Structure 1
Amino acid sequence: QQLVVSNPPRPVRHGHIVQLVHGITTRYLNTHDVAAPLSPHSQEVSCYIDYNISMPAQNLWRVEIVNRESDTDVWKTILSEVRFVHVNTSAVLKASGLSGASLPEWGYRQLEVVGEKLSKGYHQSMLWNVEEHRYGKSQEQKEREVELHSPTQMDISKNLSFMAKFTELQWKILTLKNEGTEHKYSSSALDWITMDTNIAYWLHSTSGAQIHLLGNVATWASANAAALVYLCLSLWYLLRRRRKIYDIPEDAWQLWMSAGGVCGGGWAVNYLPFFLMEKTLFLYHYLPALTFQILLIPVVLQHLSDHLCRSVLLKSMFSALTVAWLSSVYFVYCTFSPLSYGQPALSLTELRALRWKDTWNILIRKH
């Protein structure tokens, strides 16, 4: 048994017969016509152990891509909804613990997974989705465990200049839809709000120097906070004005609504249409919308200072908080500038320390 992938890897397609292997123990996922411990109406699913067992292994599964466009579709991470049909018994792999039931202590309180007959109907819990594709390349068990537990790594074998890498990325963006594959750095519009994604443009051939499209976390969060504060204050003012209570002068109200209309409208026009697009999306598609959202920050700060901080003490506290906020923005800028400008080169430990979110793909070179 070995979990070493061939080079180049062979894609799994609809209808292929596969074995599901636990990456650490290398045990095959097996099922047979034996009642499951918590769901006696379904088949037991467990890893097969090949000693002191009178039953032969039944560990072959047929891959069925439910949302496929053709019978030759490739199984894709995130996009494909997959069903596993047991070859011997035609049972479908199903998560039976969705109702809240879980295995006892010997099962580490995990949700029970069973084999369900197709004749009993279709259920959403029969669909499976792969969020991340990772595999070990080492022949040794201990080394493979380290590989599978470590952050995503990239083996950069081509010595490309920045412009060559940039040109390659742009070409991939233009031709991706025709290839029918997903891009490593593609993302959804929802990922942009909290900056759960990034784009790596360049990696130095020998050092750890690299360039990413990765925004300032403090600025990104401040823009979201400003939009939320503006929305809440606007609703509050509207409700109060319905009751003939005017908290701010009319000219200030008109200025507040005009600024919100420009900034909020600009954000919506440049962001919401992406939910209707079928093209491959990347983080930089959000930058025009983000610009309008950032423009809303000084509008909100000025309004809070002029109309809500009415005492000298409140104005002083607000000024201090503003200085602290600007300092945090500058601190984050200095912290991530090596990833924005490609210098200085950072060590492996420093690169891992900059991975503030698990979804960020910071390039880790294999030595």
Structure 2
Amino acid sequence: MSDTKGIRRRVAKQPEPVPAVENVPLDDSGKTEKPIGGQVYEKPSEFDLGDILIQHRAHVTGLIYTALSLWTRFHRIGHSNKVVWDEAHFGKFGSHYLKREFYFDVHPPLGKMIVGFVGLLAGYDGSYEFKSGEEYPENVPFVAMRMMLALFGVGMVPLAWYTGIELGLSEWACHLFALMVLLDLGWLCISRFILLDSMLLFFTVLTVFCLTKFNNQQSRPFSFGWWTWLSMTGISIGCATSVKMIGLFVTSLVGLYTIEDLWNKFGDVQMPVRTQIKHWVARVYCLIVIPIIVFMASFKLHFLVLNESGPGDSQMSSLFQANLQGSELATYPIEVAFGSRITLKAMGFGGGLLHSHAHVYPEGSGQQQITCYHHKDNNNEFTILPRWDEPPIDESQPIRYLTHGDIIRLNHDMTTRNLHSHSVPAPITKLHHEVSCYGNSTIGDMHDYWVVEVLDDYILGGQAKVPRVRTLTTRLRFRHEVLGCYLFADNTNLPQWGWKQIEVSCMPDSDAKDIRTHWNVEGHWNQRLPPGDKSNFKTSFLRDFVALNVAMMNSNNALIPDPDKQDILASKPLDWPFLHLGLRMCGWGDDDVKYYLLGNPIVWWGGGISLIASFVTLVAYLMRMQRQYFVMGDVEWNHFLYVSKIAGFGWALHYIPFMVMGRVTYVHHYLPTLYFAVLMFVHMLDHFIFSSPRFNATARAITFGIVASAVIATFWWFKGIAFGIDGPIREHWGLSWRNTWNIYNQ
């Protein structure tokens, strides 16, 4: 043991204890309300408005910030009567809900369902196409829709105020936190349009608030308030993830907090094992089961509402499409025969329809391309024909049905060429054989032969129970008779010469369980066969849920930067913390109302600097403590670490994933991350100034005044980029503080 004599200690002076007061106001969970400013007021003996306002000043302040937030979010919200930026996407998706047409998008459905719901409340009929830059017609209540969605942005501000209180920040820090959330131009601008971002931000902020509320209930485990805020945290992360998948980032923050919390409880040897198990069960149910239920419920509602055929059908399984109203798939003949004209659906993750077109491979065989394509057109259609050495189809003869082990040719209807493979490497997957279209209806060779292998049928069962190949429900493989390889479709995209469509190849030595070699007949036309019946085609929610989520992830991963094109709107993660550039949200002509997605420089730069300062501070404290020079008491140190971990890990978990993503990124992707940077900024000011015994009340007020004034001044200076800039942009001088901001460039 080292000698502890002479250890240098510098502990912050503890404040004088506050006398206990019997009548302390309670919050809705039964917990004693945290007083602001260290004062507790007795309940007045008779009605006194002044005393009531003082006693509940936290809520009064919250209402004031809410009112200010309403003004900033609603002011001139309908000034531009044109479709702005991604309103072209999300407004259109809302229209699909009102028309109940199935569509496909890379994001989960909750936010877009809310867009459709606010359109319904506003009296919108879903008939508008939301073309980018086009003026809204009179029958589209776009202002009402924008205002209802802006309420999510409004809610961020009071939530920030109350989160600061729950985190134990000083009153000055809570005010500054709410003020910065109120006056950041990025959050303001993104909240004023028909977009998903305001909903994502709201549920992210709500999750942090609920987590801090739950943390303050830890001294009363399994109480009503404890269960309430733990459940609310689970509901919030479920909602955040159901709007956009990056809601998983705040879910990770809750997960890390929970792991640390349970680990600490595991180290409490005085806690009974029964209580330990109850804590684990509570976390699993509230933070895993509830979010999953919320996430899956949003998809269930999505499927229930969108029950009619629409533009997104082809992304889903054939069985799912057959159950949509207005879909032709359920009317196709059930059993497939020689002479049938068909389309083949790849059953692998994100698979499309077997496709060919009159373009050739620029390398390899130089023959006609074969791809997978998600959109339905005539180039997806093939006819099942017998071998070259067999008699052609005679319609006067009995129908010959397709069965397991049959050898067929697949003739492409539009070009009359035959599905073909040979010992030429595939264009991308070089270890596979190339698949092409070759010859015509009268010219071909043995390399056009494919052996049909039936795996099973969703309705009938295993292969032995499938006497004939059936439309939609039978899973097939196609083995090349000469090479022995299998028709294969992965998620590998061809270059621009292949129109970015999915590569199709022939895979040697394939496992029968490899879903990338599985196909089913989707489209089926044969005048000699009777039409099908929808009652023959059943699907399941879980299968459709998994299929849609896999398709969403694959499509999202495919959103990679195109090296052949310059995207002037795109940016990189390193551009975000210090506002390297913004984003033009609309046309930049003299007659356009112009919006530029750019944050408040003081807010963003302050947040970026504070992250560096917090890291340096933490390292310095740890080094000094290692040298047994203690700079604060245990309570103050634990609080410093608690807030630092919420802000620091929250920022890192939202930011670092974008550093490793291959997909294209934009500045609005930083907006959820910014919340944690701002929290770190006010935490650092609170730690070093607002709650430091080194500074008196006057110094703290002056510091707050300087920072708040800078935030307000920059907001007022740049307010036009969020409220809308009229006329020629050159007439509005002083907006380009950095040369990289393309505000004045044409």
TM-score, L = length of structure 2: 0.25
Rg comparison, structure with higher value: 2
